[in-house]
Structure formats: C-alpha cells, structure tokens
A and B are shown apart, each in its own frame.
Chain A
C-alpha cells in the first residue's frame, strides 16, 4: 500500500490535482476534503492527474464523482488525465468513461 499524496498546481485551464498512491476506502476522504478548498472559477477545468495512481477502489471512484460534482457546481469542467489501465477498466464497467473526459496525460488535459 502506498500513502495517498495530492499535489495541487495551477495551469492555464485551472487547478490540476496530481494524485499519487492509493485512492481507497481509507484515503479517498483526503481528495474529497480537498475539493471545497480549490479556487475554481466558472469555465475553468479541474484536471485530476492520475499518472501516479497505484490503486483505486469504489471509494476512490466516489471521490472522482465528487470531484465532477464539485466542478459542475462551480460551473466548471472536469477531466481525468493519465488514468492507469486497471482504473480505466473499472471506469468503463461503471460507465464513468462516458461522463468523465479522459486525456492521455495532463499536458493534453490542460490544453485549452
């Protein structure tokens, strides 16, 4: 198990969350609690960069949905970047690949 670490940076498109480690039952609250602290303006895009994600369970999926809800409530957009294969498989099973735009990497995701 790897501890969850989230780094926030700002791109031209809006905030980028770099999530590394495990996003699971024990840690997903960390991402959800971070969301309300983000400065997200209407029309911006919240990018969740999952390049360093090692494990994601249903609680992690819930946190990603919470990120989407948060962005939409701020009339902003949301996008995932660099989703690892096993998490991508889960996203497809639960149909989230249809509602969460998925980019190959954060560079593409932050291109306006």
Chain B
C-alpha cells in the first residue's frame, strides 16, 4: 500500500469504461497526497537520526505538530525507552551494516502517552559516491497485530494451563491409585497373619492366592495359641468381593480369635461367629462365610497331634497320611455361617501321627475351571488324587506343590484361594525342647 507510484496494468487499461474511470481516480491521487495520508507512517532522517521529513499519518499517531518534529527531534525521540534501547543496540548497528532493515517490532510514544506497537523498516539512501545520505523509514501500526498475538499468547497460555491441570489431575489420579492399592494391600495383609506361630511338634505352611489386587478377597486363615497346650486354627471364605467382603472378613477373623480364647471348642467358636454375623447382616443383604475351625493338641510323649475340627458350609478338609493315603475329613451338613439364627455345625476328629498332614483349602481350588466350559471344574476327586501324590511330604512341600497346581490353572483360577497345611514332621526336630523353650 505504500508504493508511491504505479504503472497502468495493461489488462486493467484495456477494460471497460467503469474500470477506466476507477483507475483514473487512482491516478489523480498524487504522490504527495499518498505520502501524507498513506495508511502507514513515513519519515526520513539524516544519518544522525534528525527527522527531516515526516508524513501526516505518523504525526497523527504521535499527536505532534510537524513544526515540533522536523529538524527538532530524532527518530529515537519517538520511541519508548525500551524501543530506544533496542534501536541503539540492534536496529541502528544492523541498519548501518546492511543498509536496510525490515519488520522490526518497536513501540512509539503515541498521543496522550499511549504506547503504540509498530513494525519499523528502514533503508539508507546513498549518494553517487556510495556515501550514505539519509534514512527512509516506514512505520506500520501493529496494534491489531499485537492484540492478535496477545490473544494467541493468551490462548496458548490457557491451553498450557489446561494441559498442566490435566497433567496434575492425571498425576493425582495415579498417586491416588497407588495409595489406594497400598491401602488395599495393607488391609488384605491385616486379614491374614504375618507369620504363622511355632507350634511344638507341628509344621505349618500357608499360601494365599489373590485373584485381583483391586478386589479385596474374602478368604482368610489363622493359626494361634489358645493356652500353653492347645492351638487353634481357622480358614474360610466370605461370600462376595471388595470392601464389604473385607469388612466381613475382618469381623470374622477377630470374632473367631476372641471366641477361641473364651471357648476353644470348634462348634462353640463357629456358633459365636454365626451369632455375630447373623445379628449384623440380616434381611435383603445377607453376608455369610464358610469356615472350618480346629483345635490342635500336641502330645509331646507320642509326637502325635490330636485335631478336632468343625465346619460350616465349607468343603471338607483332607488328611494326607504318611503311608500315602489321602482322605477327606468330612463334616457333613455344616451350614454356612451367618444365615440362620440356630445353625447346625458338625465336628470331626482325627489324630495326626508323624508324617501326616491336615490340608485346609477354600473352594477357589476345587472350583477352578479346567475346561472351556464354566461348569468343568477341578473338583474334589482330582484334589484327593493330587493330595495322595503329596502324602508323606512335609507341610511346606505340600503347599509348594499346591501353589504350582494353582499356577497351572492360569485363567481357570479366578477366585481367591487360601491354603493351610498342618503337618507332623516324620522325623522330629533334633532338639525340640530347646527350640520350644523360647
């Protein structure tokens, strides 16, 4: 728009009358008129910056009279402090070196102290000997462009802020997830004993298979001393999954522990648990569990351990004998714990001789799917066969073998599974008296 002259375009010149008239009107716009009122500022300065000529457009922006400017002010006087500094350090040196410079963003001090962002281009006019004569400068109003850029910047900052916010939310979610998983793991651990206690003349081993770290399991087991001569154990499965099931599991575990200290008889312990669960959960949201509870009484004289168990709704325990047999220790008819106010629990007894092991498990083991079909399950008889293969081995080895079996089920095992083996070592420890005197 700042070109001071224009050659007629041959195509336009050859156009119709209306076109010619418009073109003529354009030609009437004298070079002087164009210079003064062009939509950009013009000024010419001496090499020292003194303003020699300036157009009306720029004077209008500056709010200055021509007489106050020409010969009295330098180009830098029009600039803001920041603009002046930039002019001294970058603009002027580059211009001297290159003879021209274009599109530099500066700020001029406009009328009434308003700062006007501008884009400045300058070119040096040289004389016949190549000596610099003067500097011609155009000044473009960049206010619209600046506000556009600022808008862009603002949007960019907003997008950046939103991105940071999303990132922070994501990190928070991740932190929460880790914290929740830690809390769940801690809760899960609180439902199981850290270590199994030493029981004289008995080796105990346990394994807990967690189907999913997100879904708290409802299986539980424990082994603890009742008095100087007797130990109690239990293992079971609370119906359902998740926090509600875990709450029942916790209630179950501590109720059985307390009940055993009060009366370690297995039927009495399960009856106490039944009363607690039945009172707590009734009606449309029944909560119950299966459980086997047992009492161990080692006989130091014979090395045998007398076992009495009671069970409610729980798959039968397996006894592995030193001679290679494996049998169920049935407790038929024992009802799920917590669904009736007056349930029946059935007890059974056996004696574990050296080499014998009592195996307790939850139904995750026997209900593991072994085929494509949901109904093709591992089952009791397969377990009995597997157990017979482990008979005579130490409790630790029995648990290790069963853990391997659980691993082999792969995706077929989609339930939590608890295993507890209580075995009388075939060859007693060399000095059990010293060991148990602690």
Q: Do A62 and B286 touch across chains, with their CB atoms under 8 A apart?
A: yes
- Known: A55-B374, A99-B335. Contact between A94 and B290, CB under 8 A? yes
Does B239 sit at the interface, judged by CB under 8 A? yes
Does B392 sit at the interface, judged by CB under 8 A? no
- Known: A61-B239, A69-B284, A73-B283. Contact between A96 and B375, CB under 8 A? no
Partner of A98, one of B284, B333, B363: B333
Within 8 A of A (CB), among B290-327: 290, 312-315
Partner of A94, one of B240, B283, B336, B375: B336
Nearest A residue (CB) for B286: A65
* B interface secondary structure, majority: loop
- Known: A62-B240, A93-B315, A95-B312. Contact between A69 and B333, CB under 8 A? no
Write out the residue numbers on chain A whose beta carbons fall within 8 Å of the beta carbon of B284: 32, 35-36, 66, 69-70
Interface range on chain B (Cβ under 8 Å from partner): 20 to 34
Write out the residue numbers on chain B whose beta carbons fall within 8 Å of the beta carbon of A36: 284
Q: Do A96 and B241 touch across chains, with their CB atoms under 8 A apart?
A: no
Write out the residue numbers on chain A whose beta carbons fall within 8 Å of the beta carbon of B313: 93-96
Q: Report the Cα distance A32→B283, complex, angstroms.
A: 11
The residue among B286, B312, B315, B334 with the most chain A CB atoms within 10 A of its own CB is B286
24 contacts between A and B (CB under 8 A): A1-B374, A22-B374, A32-B284, A35-B284, A36-B284, A54-B375, A55-B374, A55-B375, A58-B239, A61-B239, A62-B239, A62-B288, A65-B286, A65-B288, A65-B339, A69-B286, A73-B283, A86-B377, A93-B313, A93-B363, A94-B313, A95-B335, A96-B335, A98-B335
Chain B interfacial positions (CB closer than 8 Å to A): 237, 239-241, 282-286, 288, 290, 312-315, 333-336, 339-340, 343-344, 363, 374-375, 377
